Amino acid sequence: MCGIVGYIGHREAYPIIIEGLRRLEYRGYDSAGVALFDGTDLKISKTKGKVSDLELRINEEITKTGKLGIGHTRWATHGVPNDVNSHPHISNSGSLVIIHNGIIENYESLKKELITRGYKFQSDTDTEVLINLIEEVKTKEKVKLGKAVQIALNQVVGAYAIAVFDKTRPEEVIVARLGSPLAIGIGDGEFFIASDASPFIEYTKNAIYLEDEEMAIIRFDKKIKVRKIKDDSLVDPYMQELQLNLEQIEKGGYDHFMLKEIHEQPKAIRDTFRGRLLRNEAIIKMAGIEDNMKKFLNANRIIIVACGTSWHAGLVAEYIFEDLARIPVEVEYASEFRYRNPVISENDVLIAISQSGETADTLAAIKMAKSKGAFVFGVCNVVGSSIARETDAGAYTHAGPEIGVASTKAFTTQITVLSLIALRLARAKGTISSSDFRRYLLEMELIPEKVEKALESDKHIRIVSDIYKEASNFLYLGRGFNFPVALEGALKLKEISYIHAEGYPAAEMKHGPIALIDENMPIVVIATKAEHYDKVVSNIQEIKSRKGKIIGVITEGDTVVRKLADHVIEVPDTIEALSPLLTTIPLQLLSYHIAVMLDKNVDQPRNLAKSVTVE
C-alpha cells in the first residue's frame, strides 16, 4: 500500500504535504514525490528513497510555491523503486498529474491500447497508464476532468485511491477510491486529501471517508461534489467528526502495528490472490511460474530456504507441495544451508521466502545455490528488494508494509502464494483432479472471510491470555499441515512476550517433552478436524492425565476436544491443507495479548530487528 496526500486552499501546500507524507510513511517507503502548482506551472519533484531523501533533493524554489499540490510515498507493486517509477505521474501532454495507492490489474491491456494510439511511457507503473487513459478519454470525449476520470475508472479492474488535477484548470482536484482508503478533510475554504486523517488532523476534525466506487470533485471555492463512479449519480456524503489522535491514526486506530497487521490479513490474503486466482476460468495465473513451468515440472526436488517465520511458511509449503503436486521438497534454514556445502544440481529449484527481501542468510543461500546452477524463485513482500532482484523469477506477496517486528500477515500471505504455486503445478502435472482443483479455488476465495470469523474470537482469547500470562513456559503442538503452525505460534509468543515456548509435532510428546508437563504448563494444541484428528485427541488425553492445562484450537462445532480441554478457541472449517491460514490467527492474538498484558514493547521487542541484514 502507499500513502497519498493532497491540499487545495489558502495555505502553502508544500509544508502540509511533506509533513503528511512523513506521517504516512508507515504505509510505504520505497520512494516519494510531490507535484505543486505554483499559479502558472506544474512543479514535480520525486525520488527513490524515503520522504527525508525527497526533502534533501527538492529544489528550494518549488517548496515556496502553490496552494495546490499532491504527494505520494510508495510501496511498489508494479515497477521497482526508482526515480522514474516514483509518483506523481504526468500524462503525455504534461497537463494531468496523478498519485495512486492500489493495483490496476488490467494495466497491461490498457497500456497496449494506449501505445497503439501513440502514447509513450516513461515508467513501468500501472499508474502512468491510468493518467494517460484519463487523458485519452478527456481528449477523445471532449469532457471535463471529472467526467474523464469517471469514464476511465469504469474501464479499470483493480484497486485505487487516486488524486488527479489538470494544471490548465488548477481550481479543482478529483479523487476516487475502490479498495484503498481515502479521507477528505473539510477545512474553512480549504480541503485535505489523504490515505488516513493523520496529515490533516491538526487542521480540521471534519472528514468525509469516500466509500468504494465513489469519487469527489473538490473545488476550494465551492462545496465538494461526491458521485458514484458507476453511474455519475450524486451522493450525500457522511461528514465525520474525528475523535482520534495522530498516533492512533497511523496505527489505524489499533494500539500496535502488530494488531493492525493481524487484522489486515483478510485484505492482505485477498490482495495476494487477486488477479492470480481466476475461479470462473478455473485457472491460476502467475507469470513467474508460467514462464518457468518446465523448470518446476522437471525439477528433481524443490529446496525451500528461509529464516524464522518465513521458514515456518516454507514448512507448510512442504506439506502442501508434496501432498498436491507430488514434488519432493526439503526445507532448509538459510543460515545452515549456506554453510554446509549442500549437494545442489541444475535440476534443483530453490524457493527463497522472505518478507523483507533483505535477510542476509537467505540472500547468501540464494547466491550459493545460483553458483551451483540451481534455478531460484523468490517469494518476497518488498518489490525490488535485494532478494527479489537476486532471484531468477518470483511472486510477490501483496501484504503491504509489515511494520511490527513479529511477522503476521507476511506468514499468511506467503502461505497463500505458495498454495497457489502448488495448486498450479499440481494442475500442470495432473496430480489433482479438476473438481478438486476447483474446490481449492473456491475455498481459497472464502479464506479472507473465514479469517475475519477467526478474528472474532479476540475477546475470548484476551480472557485466556489473562489466565496464562504469568506462565514461564508454553508448549505448542500440531500435526501435519499444522505442525509448522505450532512452531510459528511458539515463535510469536517467545519474540514478543519473552516467555519460553516450544513447538512440537503432537506425536513427538512421548519421546521426551511430555516429561515437562505438570499443572503449571499451558499446552496449546491445534486440534482442528483433520486426517489425524483422533490421534491428536489421544495426545490431548495423555496431556490431561498429567494435569497439563490445554488450550485447544478447534474447528467450529467440535464437541469432543471442547470436553477435554481447559479452553478452546474455534476457527471455521476449511480444507486441511489451507487450515494453517486460519489456525495461526488465534496463536497470533494469544501472543499479542499476553505480551500487552506483560507490558512488553510489542512492535519493537528487545534484541530484535524487522530485517536481519547481518549474518
Contact set with ligand AGP (CB under 6 A):
307-310, 354-356, 359, 362, 405-407, 495, 611-612
Tell me which amino acid residue 144 is. Answer: K
Please say which residue, 89 or 263, places its beta carbon nearer to ligand AGP: 263
Instruction: Closer to ligand AGP by CB, 262 or 307: give it.
Output: 307
What secondary structure does DSSP assign to 447-469, as a single string? HHHHHHHHHTTHHHHHHHHHHHT
Task: Reply yes or no: is the peptide bond before residue 88 cis, omega within 30 of 0.
Answer: yes
Which residue in 150, 167, 208, 202 sits closest to 70, CA to CA?
A: 167
Annotation marks residue 50 as catalytic: no
CB of 312 to ligand AGP, least distance (A): 8
Q: Cell numbers at residue 323, please?
A: 501432498
Beta strands in 75-205 (DSSP E): 89-90, 96-104, 158-166, 172-178, 183-186, 191-194
C-alpha cell at 556: 467450529
Residues 6+ apart with CB under 8 A from 192: 5, 6, 7, 16, 20, 183, 184, 185, 199, 200, 203, 204
Q: Which of 173, 172, 207, 170 is nearest to 187 (CA)?
A: 207
Rounded to the nearest whole angstrom, what is the least distance from the CB of residue 213 to ligand AGP in the complex? 35
Distance in Å, CB of 411 to ligand AGP, minimum: 8
How many angstroms from the chain centroid is the CA of residue 554?
26
- Out of 2, 43, 138, 600, the active site residue is 2
Residue 204 or 310: the one with the smaller Cβ distance to ligand AGP is 310
CB 310 → ligand AGP: shortest distance, Å? 4
126 touches 112 (CB < 8 A): no
HSE-CB of 443 using CA atoms within 13 angstroms? 20
Nearer CB in complex with ligand AGP: 26/37: 26
Nearer Cβ to ligand AGP (308/478) = 308
Contacts of 48 (CB under 8 A, 6+ apart): 30, 31, 81, 82, 83, 86
Nearer to ligand AGP, 80 or 612 (CB): 612
Question: Smallest distance from the beta carbon of 84 to ligand AGP, in angstroms?
Answer: 27
Residue 486 φ then ψ, to 5°:
-65, -40
Angle (deg, nearest 10), helices 409-429 and 434-455: 170
The closest residue (CB) to ligand AGP is 308
CB of 601 to ligand AGP, least distance (A): 14
Q: List CB contacts of 340: < 8 A, sequence separation 6 or more.
A: none
* Residue closer to ligand AGP, measured from CB, 150 or 588: 588
Q: How remote is the C-alpha of 485 from its chain's centroid?
A: 19
117-146 core/surface letters (b: 16 or more CB in 10 A; e: else): eebeeebebbbbbbbbbbbbbbeeeeeebb
- What's phi and psi for 418, nearest 5 deg? -65, -35
Q: Note the helical H segments in 504-604.
A: 533-544, 560-564, 580-597
Q: Which of 50, 372, 544, 610 is catalytic?
A: 610
Minimum distance between the CB of residue 591 and ligand AGP, rounded to whole angstroms? 10
Assess whether 2 carries a catalytic annotation: yes
CB of 480 or CB of 489, closer to ligand AGP: 489
Least distance in angstroms from the C-beta of 530 to ligand AGP: 25
Q: Which residues are catalytic?
A: 2, 610
